[in-house]
Amino acid sequence: MEVRAITYGGIIVSLRTPDRNGRLGDIVLGLDSLEAYLRGTPYFGAIIGRYGNRIARGRFTLDGRTYRLATNNGPNHLHGGARGFDKVVWAAEPLETASGVGVAFAYTSPDGEENYPGTLRVRVTYTLTDRDELVVDYHGTTDKATPVNLTQHSYFNLAGGGTRDILDHVLTIDADSFTPVDSTLIPTGVVAPVAGTPFDFRTRTAIGARIGRDDPQLKNGLGYDHNFVLNRSGAALVHAARVVESGSGRTLDVYTTEPGLQFYSGNFLDGSITGKAGYVYRHRYGFCLETQHFPDSPNQPLFPSTILRPGQEYRSRTVFAFAVERGPS
């Protein structure tokens, strides 16, 4: 395996894994140059913060004070605002541990950046292990109470190269429930069972099997763009999802300490982006599995809290484990 990342946005620009015949292929979408990333992307491969996902109407109230954020996604705030962590330059140092090698990224977000309170010091490490895992560790501290919800935003296509859609990838998500959204993709506050809906991925199901159904939630998301409430007890690392691509045999298992998983089926990819090696990224040519707290948590008192306070440490771990199935899936 090989992982490449850059300091701009902490972006994973390529991730090469073998297929069942040992041929390496790049399984993440991305661009060929820094200049292309600077022109803007749909968050390909980036570290997302301070707050991954959406905050309704770009506002929240904390300790009696209302904070107003950029509304950069219709009426809502998305992925940290106009200049989130995906658009800053991180300090980087190589690292080597008993389990593998990688890079440690660090960034200090000053008090008031994107109108978030508090100076937030963040460290994110990518470690490539000898077990063919990419381990992402997040750490943060603050001097004022602030919402924090960091995630990694790689678009995967296990067929390699971004040459076709991901609808025949077979997905399993370890979640009995999800958080339905309104027409602007803000959670309604309800935690709903997946049973009997197109959101039931508790058993192996092709991504495209039900994506075209006449379902209000699929219409709101233009496909899948929803937070799944992972089955867990306690804060330990748990299995969240598994993806299998039968043509190559590649598999991806995701483990996380987070309570939620945003599954996004590349609904807004439309052929307007030419990616690596000249490939055009068309509708649903990549999918994201963003481990996270729930969208709009600062405005949803029944959701797990995302507020980090002075003296506390933000810690989170996600493991992307890669392998191959030797026979037909």
Residue in 113, 114, 133, 290 annotated catalytic? 290
Alpha carbons 250 and 323: distance in angstroms, whole number: 6
In contact, 145 and 63? CB cutoff 8 Å? yes
305 secondary structure, DSSP code: P
Burial class of residue 227 (count of CB atoms within 10 Å of its CB; 0-12, 13-18, 19+): buried
For the chain, helix, strand, coil in percent to 5 are: 10, 45, 50
Active-site residue, 139 included: no
Task: Give the residues across from 100 on adjacent strands.
Answer: 129
One-letter identity of residue 172:
T
In contact, 54 and 78? CB cutoff 8 Å? yes
Residue in 153, 169, 226, 293 annotated catalytic? 153
Active-site residue, 153 included: yes
SS (H, E, C) 128-188: EECCCEEEEEEEEEECCCEECECEEECCECCCCCCCCCCCCCEEEECEEEEECECCCCCEC
Give catalytic residues, as residue numbers.
153, 290
